[in-house]
Amino acid sequence: MTYGDGTRAVHAGLPAPEPGQPFLPGPVFAAPYHLDPETGPGRDGYGRPDNPTRRALEAAIGELEGGPALAFASGQAAITGLLLATLRAGDTVALPSDGYFTVRAFAEGALRDLGVRTVLVPTAGPYPAFDGVRLVLLETPANPGLDVCDIRAVAAAAHASGALVAVDNTTATPLGQRPLELGADVVVASGTKALTGHSDVLLGYVATGDEDLLARMTTWRAQTGGIPGAFDAWLAHRSLATLDLRLARQSANADAVARLLADRTDVTGLRWPGLPGDPSYALARAQMRRIPGVVSFDLGGAERVARFLAASRLVFAATSFGGVHTSADRRAQWGDDTAPGFVRLSCGIEDTADLLADLTDALDAA
């Protein structure tokens, strides 16, 4: 029996029912655990290599992604861990030129200093030949521009050249897209965004069916220590139960918001992969199981964005995305390479009519 997304999200990673026990066991706070003086450490001896709360979360994420998962302290801990555990001096890595900019900054700093070469490729392509490339990291939909790439096609080309293929699944979440089924070797993601969705946890993960890579990442994490704490792991697991519901409302809100913005002459550069006519529309429809609640557009300048945000009562000025509260981020304020008036709007789970009314008023006022 294959269950639907709502059922899978609610039951992901839960232990078998046991009378007198909670559905989701509470966080286990332990650095060292009691040891058996005769047999020594079992699975739980010290909290850096393993923890039962984290294991339950990893079981949940692993079920949703379709491959064993390892949780990290943040998305960056997971991504930089994957890069450093797989790349050696003299290697080349292909990264999206329009993806999460801290990954590019890491490649152009720390990785370059280690002798790793980077090729930047726009998510929408064209993709170069991958000869001599060790690792291809895709980010689809890319944050913040929302271009989409064909995971199956790029993975086939990369594999033909012997490269490993990783997909950053942050924006889509495992309910929106299953990169491992589409041919990727490994998924990396930030769980800080829509996966946990309450803007109160930093989290990252790696998921892979490649046993060697999983073993290498397990050793990497145990030795470098970038683990989430037990309480954060528990909060994340608790939040997963509503993932299907949250994504459904976020996506419906984004659909309505994108249509509203498409009709306005004072908004340019509108992107939402679910909008017919969007450059990503056909590919997103074919590849994705649902479209994320993130919309991007340009309001022409920093001052107009500021007036829009000041006038809105429902849109929080904040970075990050995928949360239950609608928020908007003028990305250029963080020093990335977007235009000064570029906005990434993350639709929350408010009532659609309220959101549309608020956005209309705020844009009119701006």
Ligand X SMILES: *Cc1c(COP(=O)(O)O)cnc(C)c1O
Interface with ligand X by CB under 6 A: which residues?
74-76, 79, 100, 139, 143, 168, 170-171, 190, 192-193, 202, 204
CB of 187 to ligand X, least distance (A): 12
CB of 307 to ligand X, least distance (A): 26
C-alpha dist (Å) from residue 244 to 250, 275, 328: 10, 21, 22
Residue nearest to ligand X (CB): 75
User: Between residues 60 and 138, which has the closer beta carbon with respect to ligand X?
Assistant: 138
User: Between residues 189 and 362, which has the closer beta carbon with respect to ligand X?
Assistant: 189
Assign residue 240 a region: left if phi > 0, alpha if psi is -120 to 50, beta otherwise?
Answer: alpha
Structure tokens at 222: 């145990």
> Rounded to whole angstroms, how far apart are CA atoms 123 and 51?
37
User: Between residues 58 and 363, which has the closer beta carbon with respect to ligand X?
Assistant: 58
CB of 22 to ligand X, least distance (A): 28
CB of 45 to ligand X, least distance (A): 28
Closest CA to 317 of 344, 351, 292: 344
In the sheet with 69-72, reading across from the earlier edge strand, the strands are: 69-72, 204-208, 186-190, 164-168, 135-139, 92-96, 117-121
User: Between residues 96 and 363, which has the closer beta carbon with respect to ligand X?
Assistant: 96
User: Between residues 74 and 326, which has the closer beta carbon with respect to ligand X?
Assistant: 74
Q: Where are the beta strands (DSSP E) in 151-275?
A: 164-168, 186-190, 204-208, 268-271
CB of 58 to ligand X, least distance (A): 16
User: Between residues 190 and 242, which has the closer beta carbon with respect to ligand X?
Assistant: 190
Helix (H, G, I), strand (E, B) or coil at 206: strand
Structure tokens at 190: 């930030």
Angle at 347 between CA 233 and CA 285, to 5 degrees: 95
CB of 207 to ligand X, least distance (A): 14
In the sheet with 294-298, reading across from the earlier edge strand, the strands are: 268-271, 294-298, 342-346, 327-330, 316-317
User: Between residues 70 and 362, which has the closer beta carbon with respect to ligand X?
Assistant: 70
